Amino acid sequence: MPTPSPSPSPADSSSSPSAIAPSSVKILLNATEAAPEVLVQGWVRTKRDSKAFSFIEINDGSCLKSIQVVADAVLPNYQSEIVHLHTGAALAVRGELVASQGQGQAWEIVAREVTVYGNADESYPLQKKGHTPEFLRSIAHLRPRSNLFGCVFRVRSRLAYAVHQFFQERGFIYVHTPIITGSDCEGAGEMFRVSLSGGGNGNTNGDGSNTKPGDAKKEPEAAEEFFGRPTFLTVSGQLEGEAFACALSNIYTFGPTFRAENSHTTRHASEFWMIEPEMAFCNLAGDMDLAEEMVKYLVTDTLEHCAGDLELFGKFVDKDLHNRLNFVRERPFARVSYTEAIGILQSSGKTFEYPVAYGLNLQSEHERYLTEQHFKCPVTVHDYPKEIKPFYMRLNDDDKTVAAMDVLVPGIGEIVGGSQREERLDLLEKNLAHYGLDEADYSWYLDLRRYGSVPHAGFGLGFERMLMFVTGVPNIRDVIPFPRVPGWAEF
């Protein structure tokens, strides 16, 4: 990794910080003994001055905590630079790691040399005090420097690693399904059209506010299309994933997906990451087992590897976080059929805003009742009426339900949606016709049933929703580095 080449400030033109290798704050705070010379690089979180010296807290993002630096007034650039440092300034400090005389920390650095890479002026927007998430969203480029967002994005990194680890340990093959796709009607929601800038632009966005009346229905000519056909940003890699599962047996995808839906909620974003395993020779029961195992695995991994960050969430974001995570880790998930779930809701004695009846979708309030009040743990609901599920799900022998399943978790609702796929060619063709889909658009998908078809199953897990669940952060916009939602794509 290349080290930045410091440009020494005029007041300290003597040298670069040192030839010694820098240590992260995390490593220094976990030291077991004092060290005569260490180098740390990071950003000023706070500074407290006295006449004879300053205390500077430096954070480098390696962990939640900052390290305290004692900068004596005899340092050559003390008056010219150090006393003028603001929160946000970038520094390198070379000095001695010693046991702290103060109460708040075990170790501190007595500075021998402080190199100011870049000061920050008084307009630096982050204060020591707490900020609202709304304000921090408006400075998405600076918010990773706050305690909360540093924790969120460290956990995000670890969680992504754990996803790969989970599947790789089990022999799943990672498949990169396309981001630009020609499949335009998977029933997964509105899509973003991909077009050349400056022309040939089809607006599939629903409201059509910018479309001239005469052009409202006009699709770009095929010749204008870069790909020779309409293309979109993917809403799911599932269909392509099925193709690979029908060759490599167990696969997973993990990548960005896009939805052009005009939803304004704390759980929806226009761009988000999804994990989609697909298993050949697998039925719905195996699918549910994997989903449950995975959720538990990710929760356990986070508890074991992100303890410091989770502490902050438990303290400031969600006081019940640790209870909930430990509960999910230890207890089996409840598992009920859709029919049973309807029965539970009907005999609950609760009055719901939306009606509960067989054949109707479970609403948010129903899902929340099941997981938060009735079972008080994650719930897998399976075997839904075929009418309320997409064309590719496998018809059960009762001819009324399909082999679908959703995992519901407290606080979030649906976190996993999956199914066993219809592997029988004739039934799949019937479904396409029933849903009004053109068989020609799915010829390659039907080929998977023509040649060596097998029972197979998979699911989709929203990565950000999982992240919300393990951190307790209540808004999806605060677990994505630069979130995209309707009307907002800054940065």
Partner RNA sequence: UCCUGCGUAGCUCAGCGGUAGAGCGGGUGGCUGUUAACCACUAGGUCGUUGGUUCGAAUCCAACCGCAGGAGCCA
Of 291-350, which residues contact RNA (CB under 7 A)? none
Strand order in the sheet with 413-420: 173-174, 250-258, 271-280, 456-462, 413-420, 401-409, 379-385, 334-337
- Choosing from 58, 416, 428, 448, the residue that interacts with RNA (CB under 7 A) is 416
- Which residues in 307-391 belong to E strands, given as ranges? 334-337, 379-385
- Choosing from 1, 5, 36, 51, the residue that interacts with RNA (CB under 7 A) is 51
- Residues 254, 166 contacting (CB under 8 angstroms): no
Site map for RNA, 355-394, x if CB under 7 A? ------x-xxx-----------------------------
Asked if 156 is part of the footprint of RNA (rule: CB under 7 A), the reply reads: no
Asked if 465 is part of the footprint of RNA (rule: CB under 7 A), the reply reads: yes
Which residue type occupies 143?
Answer: R
CB of 472 to RNA, least distance (A): 14
CB of 259 to RNA, least distance (A): 4
For every residue of 85-154, DSSP letters joined together read --TT-EEEEEEEEEE-SSSS-SEEEEEEEEEEEE---TT----SS---HHHHHHTTTTGGGSHHHHHHHH
Instruction: For RNA, give the closer residue by CB, 103 or 351.
Output: 103
CB of 149 to RNA, least distance (A): 15
What's the Rg (C-alpha) of the chain?
A: 27
- Choosing from 225, 289, 414, 447, the residue that interacts with RNA (CB under 7 A) is 414
Measuring CA to CA, which residue among 33, 29, 101, 43 is closest to residue 70? Answer: 101
Cα separation, 171 vs 186, in Å, equals 28
Instruction: For RNA, give the closer residue by CB, 227 or 358.
Output: 358
- Among residue numbers 81 through 100, which ones bind RNA (CB under 7 A)? 84, 86-87, 100
- Residues 187, 326 contacting (CB under 8 angstroms): no
Asked if 70 is part of the footprint of RNA (rule: CB under 7 A), the reply reads: yes
Site map for RNA, 417-456, x if CB under 7 A? x---------------------------------------
- Choosing from 49, 96, 289, 372, the residue that interacts with RNA (CB under 7 A) is 49
Cα separation, 403 vs 422, in Å, equals 9
CB of 452 to RNA, least distance (A): 26
- Residues 162, 298 contacting (CB under 8 angstroms): yes
CB of 387 to RNA, least distance (A): 12
310 sits in which H/E element: helix 307-312
Stretch touching RNA by CB under 7 A, among 195-203, 243-251, 265-273, 287-295? 265-273
Stretch touching RNA by CB under 7 A, among 6-14, 287-295, 407-415, 431-439? 407-415
Stretch touching RNA by CB under 7 A, among 154-162, 174-182, 291-299, 412-420? 412-420
- Among residue numbers 112 through 141, which ones bind RNA (CB under 7 A)? 122, 125, 127-132, 134-135, 137
- Choosing from 4, 76, 102, 182, the residue that interacts with RNA (CB under 7 A) is 102
- Give percent helix, percent strand, percent coil of the chain, each to the nearest 5: 35, 25, 45
